[in-house]
Amino acid sequence: MLKIAVIGADAHNPWYRKEWKKAAKKLGAKVSLIPMKDVILKIDQKKGVRAQFWVYDRKEKKVKVQDFKDYDILIRRWVSKFYIQSLVLGWYMKRLGKVVLNSKLEMILDKVSQAIRLFDAGLPHPLTWQALRPRNAKKLLNQISSYPIIIKPISGTMGQGVFKAKSKSGALKLVGKKDIHGLLIQRDLDIRYDLRIFVVGNRCLGAMKRMAPEGDFRSNVAVGATTEKYELTPELEKLALKAARAMGYEICGVDIMFRKNKPYVLEVNRTPQFRGFTKTFRINVPEEIIKFAISRQKKNGLSNLFRKTEIKFAPKAATRRVEIEPSSSTSEEINLEKKEIMKKKKSLKTISKPVKFTKKKIQPVKESKVKPLPKFKKQTLGQIENKSKKNISPHQISK
């Protein structure tokens, strides 16, 4: 039987426990919901690393220790206090070759990092500022010209700690009252509802319209928002899947808002609550998640048997080397093979000989002998005149 471990806050909620167990039973799997605070890590230099958890056996009426290595799939749900420890557990399960969802294990804890990733993916997102202390928050508020604005903590869920400021004076009062450990300031899109699209794998389960209750601007189900079905158009589905891929999530909830018929991706929730979605669509969301996890497990061809693996990080220079396993042939055969290889190398050298360019010495140009000019005898003026008269013909004289 396939064994699934679900860690996080769902273990404390009776409704979520019931939905997970009902879905697992229907698909012929066994699910265990484990609070993160009950997880134990044991690091032994001889025996290696082991991840375990405490579980109460009702039949024997005592607490037992179970190993995560006996489970095939790990599903990480909402973890607030022990988020880094949940990442360590995910790395441990991946090291054993198990399926981990969400598979991307990294430190994305705040909404600012999400905003940057959405920007990099070219997805529309509201204008956003970050302030980490009151002085910086007040400076930002003085620079903002258009109100109202939304002020909320950098990391938060279920609409907790979210406020709306209609003017600069109201925003300065809120900032002065709040104990700031990091604030996110966003331009208000002036809407009365948003959409929650639930993504599992490469498909969307549906789009749920969430309408804020009277006297409140927040559209979270946890604060009393009403829900109804919304038409999931191909454009919305494409936008939601693109946002999920930008964050690297297989399972997530994408929140989309409209302003002047233009969609904006407000947030991508890596561990979305699905109670409101289940009631709206009459869909067992854990069943869809488990189906996807099983399909991923079948593709990987994994089993629930423990396989010890070691992670070795080779230097960059060693990545191009190819190691050949030693053969069972004798030394004579190896020598013959070496000789044949050398012959082939020599033949290749003769076929493709490189052209050699020799440098010729430049010989100096021989100096050509110049003939000396003929020597002329010194003559007087009278001698030259007599010679010229002798050379003149009588015909020329008559003229």
pLDDT tens-digit series, residues 20-59: 999 999 999 999 999 998 899 888 888 888 999 988 777 7
pLDDT mean over 215-233 = 81
Q: In this predicted model, what pLDDT tens digit does every residue of 96-131 receive, in sequence order? A: 999 999 888 877 667 788 888 998 999 998 888 887
Taking residue 126's Cβ as centre, other Cβ atoms within 10 Å add up to 16
Q: How far is CA 140 from CA 171, 174, 255, 345, in A?
A: 11, 14, 26, 72
- Residue 64 confidence (pLDDT): 83
Q: Which domains does the chain have, with CATH numbers?
A: 2-101 (3.40.50.20), 109-124+189-269 (3.30.470.20), 127-188 (3.30.1490.20)
Q: Is the pLDDT of residue 397 over 80?
A: no
- Residue 314 confidence (pLDDT): 39
- Residue 27 confidence (pLDDT): 94
- Residue 324 confidence (pLDDT): 39
- Residue 181 confidence (pLDDT): 64
Highest mean pLDDT among 144-153, 164-173, 227-236, 336-345: 227-236
- Residue 212 confidence (pLDDT): 80
Highest mean pLDDT among 254-263, 349-358, 372-381: 254-263
Q: Which of 14-18, 138-142, 243-247, 265-269 has the least mean pLDDT?
A: 138-142
Q: How confident is the model at residue 347 (pLDDT cuts 50, 70, 90)?
A: low
Q: Which two tokens stand for residue 123?
A: 């997805």
* pTM beyond cutoff 0.85: no
Q: Is the pLDDT of residue 346 over 50?
A: yes
Question: Using H for helix, E for strand and C for coil, what is the string for the chain?
Answer: CEEEEEECHHHHCHHHHHHHHHHHHHCCEEEEEECHHHEEEEEECCCEEEEEEEEEECCCCEEEEEEHHHCCEEEECCCCCCHHHHHHHHHHHHHCCCEEECCCCCCCCCHHHHHHHHHHCCCCCCCEEEECCHHHHHHHHHHCCCCCEEEEECCCCCCCCCEEECCHHHHHHHHHHCCCCCEEEEECCCCCEEEEEEEECCEEEEEEEEECCCCCCCCCHHHCCEEEEECCCHHHHHHHHHHHHHHCCCEEEEEEEEECCEEEEEEEECCCCCHHHHHHHCCCHHHHHHHHHHHHHHHHCCCCCCCCCCCCCCCHHHHHCCCCCCCCCCHHHHHHHHHHHHHHHHHHHHHCCCCCCCCCCCCCCCCCCCCCCCCCCCCCHHHHHHHHHHHCCHHHHHC
Q: Is the pLDDT of residue 261 over 50?
A: yes
Q: In this predicted model, what pLDDT tens digit does every residue of 286-312 receive, in sequence order? A: 999 999 999 998 887 644 443 444 433
Give the whole-angstrom CA distance, residue 176 versus residue 131. 13
Q: In this predicted model, what pLDDT tens digit does every residue of 186-212 receive, in sequence order? A: 877 777 788 999 999 999 999 999 888
- The residue with greater pLDDT, 8 or 156, is 8
Give the whole-angstrom CA distance, residue 329 versus residue 167. 85
Give the whole-angstrom CA distance, residue 304 versus residue 99. 11
pLDDT mean over 282-287 = 93
Q: How confident is the model at residue 319 (pLDDT cuts 50, 70, 90)?
A: very low
- The residue with greater pLDDT, 194 or 382, is 194
